[in-house]
Amino acid sequence: MAAAAGQVGQAGRAEQVPDQASLRAAVLGTGAWGTTFAAVLADAGCQVTLWGRDERVRDQILLEHRNDRYLAGVVLPDAVVATTDAAAAVADVDLVAVAVPSQVARATLTPLRGALADRAVVVSLMKGVELSTDRRMSQVVAEALGIADERVAVLSGPNLAREIADRQPTATVVASTSAATADLVARACASSYFRPYTHDDVVGVELCGAVKNVIALAVGISQGRGLGFNTMATVITRGLAEITRLGRALGAQPETFPGLAGMGDLMATCASPDSRNHGLGVHIGQGMSLDEATAATGGTAEGVKSSRSVLELADSVGVEMPITAAVVQVLHEGLPVDQLASLLLGRPRKAEGV
């Protein structure tokens, strides 16, 4: 198998790395996406240690190569093992993928400061903005682990875990300020069914991943109220306009937003019944409380908490995000769901491009 092009050291300098077949990786988080990405890495030729806190999940992965709690019916590659010891998982690996809920990322990663090898790069699979700090996940990763930005990458795209676990073809975007880091992560996960493209727009790719969850909640709520495809198309396209406005205000590249990380991921998350954010929104639209909808969804819907931090981030740079604001009001401020549509469409008329 081809050798990886390079790895980034502590100061961001490219260093020689082993052949890809011998790359060692750790994935933090045994949820559906973390488990799926561990399988993706293994299928691409890596040796993978999957970390989580649940001993029952660990034991089933070790003994049966399955994780029925989060990914029922999927057999994991033999190259995936599991542990409940995070420090042991990340010790002497070439790549660490972080797939924990975004709001616990800092608490999960801070105890691992100093535990990674100097050569290791870290890729964030998380899609959110941290509450109280409004920091993007790549910033949280670098701060919590005490590593240079050049050692951090983000991965985002139309990546519904269940479809990838079934090895259905998909593409994704790996972004980093370091071309060597982005290339290493892309090489580590590339396979016959998983096609990574590299990018240097970390801000744009991350914001697309975070805000699309909020837009998917709005689409789900509207569909839960019985609204149809016209409404869905309106929310998706105007949602993309919101993401683009925020991204450009924060220095993102305009061409990121109509691509895989932007429109591609937005379409998949807003349309798929496998999307937890879309599903939770449907439950809310059907009249469930947030607690009831969360229980019915059976997993973390990142957009619920990130909606508030995304709105705070937008306010801090003077960007209007009416769909995001309406979702925040419905989920966190008691706005009746029947008033959502009027909020989305009741703003002053203007030209479409603004």
Residues with active-site annotation: 212
Distance, C-alpha 164 to centroid of its chain? 14
- Write out the DSSP string of 226-255: T--HHHHHHHHHHHHHHHHHHHHHTT--GG
DSSP label at residue 95 = E
CA distance 323 to 159: 23
Which SS3 state, helix, strand or coil, does residue 75 take?
A: coil
One-letter identity of residue 159: N
C-alpha span between 276 and 37 (Å, rounded): 17
Question: Residues with Cβ < 8 Å from 31, sequence gap 6 or more?
Answer: 52, 70, 99, 100, 299, 300
**Burial of 43 from C-beta contacts in 10 A (0-12 / 13-18 / 19+):** buried
User: Could you tell me the CA-to-CA distances from 94 to 23, 31, 116, 123, 262 in Å, in that order?
Assistant: 6, 22, 9, 11, 29
Secondary structure of 151-220 as H, E, C letters: HEEEEECCCCHHHHHCCCCEEEEEEECCHHHHHHHHHHHCCCCEEEEEECCHHHHHHHHHHHHHHHHHHH
- Is-contact 110 142, C-beta < 8 A? no
The CA-atom distances, in angstroms, between 283 and each of 89, 274, 290 are: 37, 14, 9
Which two three-digit tokens encode residue 304? Answer: 């619920």
Among all chains, which residue has been given the structure tokens 């660990």? 58
Return the beta strands (E) in the chain as ranges: 7-8, 14-15, 24-28, 47-51, 80-83, 95-98, 121-124, 152-156, 170-176, 194-199
